Amino acid sequence: MSLILASGSPRRRELLSLITTDFTVKVSNAEEKTGEGLSPAETVEALAEIKGEAVFSLYPNDTVIASDTVVSIGGKILGKPHSPEEAFLMLSSLSGKTHTVYTGVYIKNASSKTVFSERTEVTFYELSGEEINGYIKTGEPFDKAGAYGIQGPGAVLVKCISGDYYNVMGFPIGRINRELKKFSI
Amino acid sequence: MSLILASGSPRRRELLSLITTDFTVKVSNAEEKTGEGLSPAETVEALAEIKGEAVFSLYPNDTVIASDTVVSIGGKILGKPHSPEEAFLMLSSLSGKTHTVYTGVYIKNASSKTVFSERTEVTFYELSGEEINGYIKTGEPFDKAGAYGIQGPGAVLVKCISGDYYNVMGFPIGRINRELKKFSI
């Protein structure tokens, strides 16, 4: 029985490596679609579960971890931007304000299952158009919910947070570490 | 005129590299001693200034950044531990509780000077003796105030924070980035 990370995110791989190097990565091709009218927390938990189940159905003897992250601001949910223009709009909407990052986590093996989410509030500095464009030019925004990564060059966009930093970077590795101890791996 | 980081901390070097690679490192041998009865914020500002002035006096044509960090819990200030036993006591005192990390920053060149500090609240998970000893064995505690680093293996000790994560990791690079723009370098 081994541990599978059902995520292609290099940040999640790096974070899981902090607690074990004994895992493999299998990315699901599940369609990431949820019902209407879900809260952000319900959305990330449902999406983590969809991704996780798709991989667990192929590896039912292993322990699977899956995850999903969204950014929520003013009742709007931000996923990954598809163009520099969309990244600019997203980052402009975050400038000088506090938004909430939700990350859902699914862990399952043959004998146990848990699905939970964590929320972290993130406050951005007021950003000039020049700063936003400079950040977009680094290429960082395009694989990240809300068009930024809190680590690397995005570090200087963020004034303060309330909650788990790693929940913003990839997933809440401290809580995952504790939940995994309840699983027999 | 160039930028000098007056700190031997590899974390601070890594953080400063996020905004510029055009700096050199010069570590002061100044005696890190302050007067009695200072608050934690006054202490880190005074120590940052002592370290910074020692380097600035040698390089008066450059811009010098210096910094100091302490951990404060229950009215007690924790610096770096000098033995595994001291690290164990420090980490035990942080277990399951919220402490405050203060980092003071000094920036000076021939025309400007600023000294400020940032505070971040950090809440630890309840840690077992086994977890604490496992962490001490990584060797991480010994060059860090409060006997832990929030990055790397120490990530899983921390439940949540309130404030700037980078203020805990090394220094508040977002604010430093903004302050440096007021200096002509």
Instruction: Report how far apart, in Å, the C-alpha atoms of A79 and of each of A115, A148, B129 are.
Output: 20, 11, 41
Cβ-defined contact of B164 to A161 (cutoff 8 Å): yes
B chain contacts of residue A124, beta-carbon cutoff 8 Å: none
State the pLDDT at residue B34: 74
At B101, phi and psi to the nearest 5?
-105, 125
- pLDDT exceeds cutoff 80 at B36: no
Q: Is B128 helix (H, G, I), strand (E, B) or coil?
A: coil
- pLDDT exceeds cutoff 80 at B32: no
Indicate the pTM of the whole model.
Answer: 0.93
Q: State mean pLDDT over B121-135.
A: 98
Q: Give the confidence band of B37 by pLDDT, cuts at 50, 70, 90.
A: confident
Q: List, in sequence order, every beta strand (DSSP E) within chain B.
A: 3-5, 23-25, 63-73, 76-78, 98-108, 113-124, 158-163
Cβ-defined contact of A174 to B166 (cutoff 8 Å): no
Q: State mean pLDDT over B112-126.
A: 98
Q: Give the confidence band of B29 by pLDDT, cuts at 50, 70, 90.
A: confident
State the pLDDT at residue B59: 97
Instruction: Report how far apart, in Å, the C-alpha atoms of A60 and of each of A28, A57, A181 are.
Output: 14, 6, 19
Q: How many Å lie between the alpha carbon of A19 and the closest alpha carbon of chain B?
A: 7
Which stretches of chain A drop beneath a pLDDT of 70?
185
Give the model confidence (pLDDT) of A1-44 as tens digits: 799 999 999 999 999 999 999 999 999 887 777 777 899 999 99
Cβ-defined contact of B159 to A165 (cutoff 8 Å): no
Instruction: Report how far apart, in Å, the C-alpha atoms of B58 and of each of A107, B139, B185 are.
Output: 56, 34, 17
At A133, phi and psi to the nearest 5?
-65, -40
Q: How far apart are CA B167 and CA B48, in angstroms?
A: 14
State the pLDDT at residue A19: 94
User: For residue A185, how far is the Cα from the chain centroid?
Assistant: 24
Question: Higher model confidence: residue B33 or residue A125?
Answer: A125
Q: Residue A174 is nearest to which of B120, B152, B156, comparing CB atoms?
A: B156
- Work out whether the CA dihedral B17, A130, B176, A158 comes out positive or negative: negative
Which residues of A are designated catalytic?
68
User: For residue B128, how far is the Cα from the chain centroid?
Assistant: 26
State the pLDDT at residue B185: 62
Cβ-defined contact of B162 to A166 (cutoff 8 Å): no
Q: How far apart are CA B87 and CA B93, in angstroms?
A: 10
